Structure 1
Amino acid sequence: MSAAARWAAFGCVLVPVVLVVYGASAGGVFWVAAVLAAVTGLCRLLLRRSERGAAGVDGPAGGHPA
């Protein structure tokens, strides 16, 4: 697991805990945690897709330099 993924997981746990400590409602905390997890998952998916695309790029289509 990369450092970015570990920090994202830490944030997904830390934010709801802080909201509970400061007295947020249970429904609000659940909603925030769900949205945060969804955004984190989407960002991780897009980052992984971008890394795979960048690894296979030699140049313009056909592999000939412009």
Structure 2
Amino acid sequence: MPSPRTAAPAPDTATDVVRWAAFSCVLVPLVLLWYGSSLVGAAGTALGLAAATAACRALLRRSEHGAALLRAAQGAPSATRGRRHRGGTGTRGGGRRPGGSTPVG
């Protein structure tokens, strides 16, 4: 049984999304042609879907790259790591508050 630290890597969901989008770029125009749409209309639909797929793929890759950079930055040692720091006033919790147990009616 694998330990929680050696769990399988997460699936590449961005690649799956792009694959399904590419599949729809082929399937949708074929269905349009099957149901009697014009060849020009089906071709225009295919080009539009391909452009939307390319834009989404670029945004997904950019997002993945940003997330990887964030994970790398969080893993880097920090100057304040290991120290307990409470900033500002009023950060201390607890204590009794007047009327805290009185129901509001």
- TM-score under structure 2 length normalisation: 0.53
1:41 aligns with 54
Which portions of structure 1, spanning 4 or more consecutive aligned residues, are displaced by more than 4 angstroms? none
- Which consecutive residues of structure 1, in runs of 5 or more, have no partner in the other structure? none
1:17 aligns with 30
- What is the aligned length? 62
Deviation per residue, 1:6-64 (Å, 9 max, x gap): 211111110000000000011111111001000001000100001101111136xxx78
Which of the pair has the greater relative contact order for Cα pairs under 8 Å at 6+ separation? 1
| Residue type of the alignment partner of 1:6 | R
> How much is the aligned-residue C-alpha RMSD, in angstroms?
2.2
Any idea what SS the aligned residue of 1:14 has?
Answer: helix
Q: Comparing both structures, which one devotes a greater share of its residues to helix?
A: 1
Identity %: 52
2:66 aligns with 53
- Which consecutive residues of structure 2, in runs of 5 or more, have no partner in the other structure? 1-11, 81-105
